[in-house]
Structure 1
Amino acid sequence: MPLVADGTADRGAVVALALEQRLIIPADRRSFLHLAARSADAGLPASAAFFDALAEGETLASDRLGALLAACRVGERQAREYVPAAGCQAYPAYVAWLAFNGEPADVVLALTANFAAWGGYCATLARALRARYGFPDAACAFFDFFAEPSPDLGRNALAALEEGLSRDTLTPRTALRQGHLLQEYEGMFWSSLADRAGAARP
């Protein structure tokens, strides 16, 4: 992240980031839809609304990803043949695990805590790609989308947490552990990108 911010990161790191997100976005969307369905089945409408909103957000992010891939000059064949880094895909794999095994209220808290960090990274990337790499606004829209805090999502999260407390299904210690793991997988994502970009240099 610091190398992208000051413009010294290889452009290949941005290409890899876009290609990894091309796989992560649909995976997370399916995980959130599954969590929404589980919440609805359990009679937790506020949690269901939170996860439905997250799934819709992934759809909107996916709509913006094409311009980033185009700015990176990623063709259809390159995208199809790209081999993802295991460290980059660990985060969505754990989100999928949470979708099947986590208590919805705990997952709401764990995800919400991590979103602030992800939003900060996206804000840095949006600025750097414009200023240091000459990317147009359309190519940065993917990062702009995640960088701006959503008041509606915050209200949805609060309602879901209050619902979990009232139903005695929120376990802060478990949510904290899950949140820590999400942060560690987030770190793996960035370090894996750095390793891949370094290996790509001559």
Structure 2
Amino acid sequence: MTDNPLVPLIARGEADRTTTLAALALEQSWVIPADRSAFLHLARRAATDAPESAAFFTLLAEGEVLAGERLGAFAKACDVDEARSRDYQPLPGCQAYPAYVAWLALNASPAEAVLALTANFAAWGGYCATIAEALRSHYGFTDEACAFFDFFAEPSAELEQAATAAIQEGRDAGRVDEARAQDYTRLLQTYEDQFWSTLRGSAP
């Protein structure tokens, strides 16, 4: 992945709370439910003949529910109220990521989707850890307001084990085209980069 253009700005306390950070909250309010729907679809697709993949995507979907429950406090700390959330127009460059996750849910084998998604876990977790620290040190946010980022910053041994089992299951069954999975990974990481660069470009 390329260098993140926005997280360092947040880390220095230079991102505006009510515009840039608010846009981050608002975009995530679209991403979280979209990703959950995609993960549930993948779990249903995998249920019959790829139980390890089904278990992995079920875990991801459950995680999105927990993340969504934590997002509201961050949004409130950024002065996002119900009216602003209702009237917000999401940015295409940010929503390309969940759109591609939905594409994977329809077109990739479940194990290939696992490979693409897990390749980005470490970077995303690192971003969230940096943001959580900055929100406390530079913006004075409470633990509750930082909980969304804390949630993703913590590595999940259960999720890592589920991913390993799902990928092995797919390879053993001959359902993983390694070159194609690399293409899926590259595209997904590109859309992740685009999410952050779009937010950075919209910053005042």
Question: Under a length normalisation based on structure 2, what TM-score does the superposition of the two structures give?
Answer: 0.95
* Code of the aligned partner of 1:114: N
Aligned length: 197
Quote the Cα distance in structure 1 between the aligned partners of 2:95 and 2:69.
20
Q: What is the 5 A alignment of 1:22-41?
A: 22-41=29-48
* Code of the aligned partner of 2:183: R
The counterpart of 1:67, out of the listed 69, 73, 85, is: 73
**RMSD of Structure 2 on Structure 1 (CA):** 0.8
Identity of aligned residues (%): 60
Residue aligning to 2:197: 191
Quote the Cα distance in structure 2 between the aligned partners of 1:168 and 1:28.
26
Q: Which stretches in structure 2 are left out of the alignment for 5+ residues?
A: 1-6
Q: CA offsets per residue over residues 37-91 of structure 1, 9 Å max, x none?
A: 00113x1000000000000000000010111111112110100000011000000
* Code of the aligned partner of 1:169: R
Residue 150 of structure 1 and its aligned partner are, at CA, apart by 0.2
Residue aligning to 1:151: 157
Residue aligning to 2:145: 139
The counterpart of 1:13, out of the listed 4, 17, 20, is: 20
Quote the Cα distance in structure 2 between the aligned partners of 1:124 and 1:176.
27
Residue aligning to 2:64: 58
Quote the Cα distance in structure 2 between the aligned partners of 1:75 and 1:139.
14
Q: Kindly report structure 1 stretches of 4+ aligned residues shifted beyond 4 Å.
A: none
Q: Which stretches in structure 1 are left out of the alignment for 5+ residues?
A: none
Question: Under a length normalisation based on structure 1, what TM-score does the superposition of the two structures give?
Answer: 0.96
